[in-house]
Structure 1
């Protein structure tokens, strides 16, 4: 099925509530803060990272990205790709301050703000404090205020739901604004490669291509039962997204689903030598979670081998650990479940809590198939 006949397939449901969602994504945030605060860095390839074999790139300016430098890339590779790059150690105190200033601008327009990280957030502006007529006008004003008051740039996506707004914010980066109107959803979505769907990584994309799915239109053409047979419970989500359906609301002050801490070693070490780090990380995680009203019932141990392969071991308990000592004992016990042999070396270890629960945790909403309304946002 092609995008050209998509609008003959979807019939608008005017009874469905219309959300107006803005996804704001700061452009090369950490690097842009560095360039803003130091005029000598402007127009130059800036890489925010510590130097060293174990360091990874936190952020790269667009001047550095032209050389192929990307976030999460090993710093040594970034240096090979861009020998002229200027490496700046990260300063999260300043980045958090800049993020708080951006958040203050958001709050002038809505209280329904869901931060995803220091540099991006969803905003529900279905009703906005400035009484602007459309979400597009809200997004334009927010970007103007960020640029004029903070001397930073942001890209924004405007759409009827979070899924579409996320895609839209990346469409005209950097310093761009893209709007997906409700009546344009299917014609926009169907030609896209499936890799543009948030959450579809390389592994899932390869599995899709193996069964003949290359575009969102290919997903759209398949029945739910077929998608579920290939992708299990995720098939339902794919069925929804191919139709532009996402009922997830913007959730202010979303509580983290996990708490973790990890260390990268100066040199690769055998598993037997990780006890001290595990004890220290368990103490750090315990302090971070102390006083949390929710109960974490799962303890996770994460390891990364010398060859960059990641593995995890976890244990879900009938009741949360009652002390830091108990958390430490569990993490060390999980280490005993790693069976790669005594000669295997490791570059990273992490300890974490997950599976937080409270009595108030809402159940997942039932799936209801309904297209977005044909109404300008």
Structure 2
């Protein structure tokens, strides 16, 4: 039986700002550049009371909370604090899997520092974070990653929640089915049509029924509804994707930002040169003026071998956007994914992953 922690810093960017500037303490702080094109990077708990959330347009945040203090993000400082926190994690276990600058999974089944329980280890880690960084963190303690991540949000901020193996079923049963990773608004609606609102409702369906309706994701739903998650904590995962994106100063139509695509392709290409792995899939990401996110991707038979090839594929992916020509876009991104070790055999070229995401789908910053 594994003992897994999910540790999540509380309102991380905003808390760093409040720590470093005492005049901000107790005030609603929004970490974002001001302007019509900006989005919120983080909000203090004082700002969240007014409904301000990460990834929200900054202008909307300002309408919701007119007294908010806007602070431009300083990622150099946030990364420095993140390194401090990771050093604390590594005192207790080498099995640390970063998810972002402000959260990580830890496997403390066999901790480096003797401890009577995973709960005691989590308490020690949180106390050290507070003492050494003057910041707070919340933690979930559970038998696996899925439950630990839900638990870490249970008593935020500056809290901890423990789900013991014997408590897993009772803990999951009343939860909204949207708590299961991958269940977004579209899937939630499909499940609601089947009468499924909670994890307990989902448990009434067999693996075969769910797989027939939802394919391989149906199998995952079956396992998660029963609290089963065999994924190990994986430290130092190899790079899976590299991308660059930018928000326009004003909304543009599809063929008005070729120069931006070329610039972002170059930025992405240079970043891929710093890894020993080879990316096979080129991805074009777009966000409409209505905050609808679309991705189009292509996997050639041979991975792109030059900036020119990468740029050409990225530009060609515009032709697979099927929205009206009058549609305007506020953001574009170019990425490379499907990384493999050099020398691994290439598969057949294929088109895949044409999709869109809800406006609340956001990327994560580089790892903790």
Q: TM-score, normalised by structure 1?
A: 0.89
2:35 equivalent to 1:52:
yes
Match of 1:309 among 292, 301, 306: 292
CA distance in 2, matches of 1:99, 1:352: 25
Per the TM alignment, residue 360 of structure 1 is displaced from its structure 2 partner at its CA by: 8.2
Aligned ranges 1:24-63 → 2 under 5 Å? 24-63=7-46
1:343, CA displacement in angstroms? Answer: 3.0
Q: What's the CA shift for 1:169?
A: 0.3
Partner of 1:152: 135
Asked if the contact 1:112–1:252 (Cα under 8 Å) also holds between the matched residues in 2, the reply is: yes
Cα distance between partner residues in 2 of 1:191 and 1:352: 39
Distance, in Å, in 1 between the alignment partners of 2:251 and 2:175 is 42
Instruction: Provide the rounded CA distance (Å) in 1 between the counterparts of 2:281 and 2:68.
Output: 42
1:255 matches 2:238: yes
CA-based RMSD of the aligned residues comes to 1.4
Aligned partner of 1:216 in structure 2 is: 199
CA offsets per residue over residues 103-136 of structure 1, 9 Å max, x none? 0111110111000000000000111111112110
1:12-64 CA-partner distances (Å, limit 9, x unpaired): xxxxxx11100000000000000000000000000000011111110000000
In the TM superposition, 1:193-342 aligns within 5 A as 193-342=176-325
Q: Which has the larger radius of gyration?
A: 1
Q: Which residue is equivalent to 2:79?
A: 96
Aligned with 1:336: secondary structure? helix
Stretch of structure 1 that moved more, 249-258 or 176-185: 249-258
Give secondary structure in 2 for the equivalent of 1:300: strand
1:289-310 Cα shifts (integer Å, max 9, x gaps): 1142222111111122223222
Question: Structure 2 vs 1, CA of residues 198 and 312 (structure 1 numbering), >3 Å: closer, same or farther?
Answer: closer
Counterpart-to-counterpart distance in 2, 1:335 and 1:167: 38
**How far did 1:91 drift?**
0.3
Match of 1:356 in 2: 339
Among residues 120, 125, 150, which one is paired with 1:137 in the alignment? 120
Deviation at 1:192, TM superposition (A): 1.2
Aligned with 1:127: secondary structure? coil
Q: SS state of the match for residue 30, structure 2?
A: strand
Q: Tell me if 1:182 matches 2:152.
A: no
Show CA shifts across 1:185-205 (max 9, x none): 111111211112222222211
Size of the aligned set, in residue pairs, is 344
Is residue 121 from structure 1 mapped to residue 115 from structure 2 by the alignment? no
Answer with 18-27 or 199-208: which moved more: 199-208
Q: CA deviation at 1:272?
A: 2.1
Q: Quick one: distance in 1 between partners of 2:243 and 2:217?
A: 26
- What TM-score do you get using the length of structure 2 for normalisation? 0.91
Partner of residue 83, structure 1: 66
Look up the match of 2:363. Answer: none
Q: Which of 206-215 and 253-262 deviates more? A: 253-262
Q: 1:71-118: CA deviations, max 9, x gaps?
A: 111111111110110000000000000100000111110111000000
1:282–1:327 Cα contact (<8 Å) kept: yes
Asked if structure 2 preserves the Cα contact closer than 8 Å seen for 1:167 and 1:198, the reply is no
Offset of residue 339 of structure 1? 4.1
- Tell me how far 1:338 sits from its aligned partner: 2.8
CA distance in 1, matches of 2:257, 2:13: 32
Contact 1:217 1:242 in 2 (8 A): yes
Give the gaps of 5 or more residues in structure 2: 346-368
Q: What is the rounded CA distance, in whole Å, between the counterparts of 1:326 and 1:213 in structure 2?
A: 46
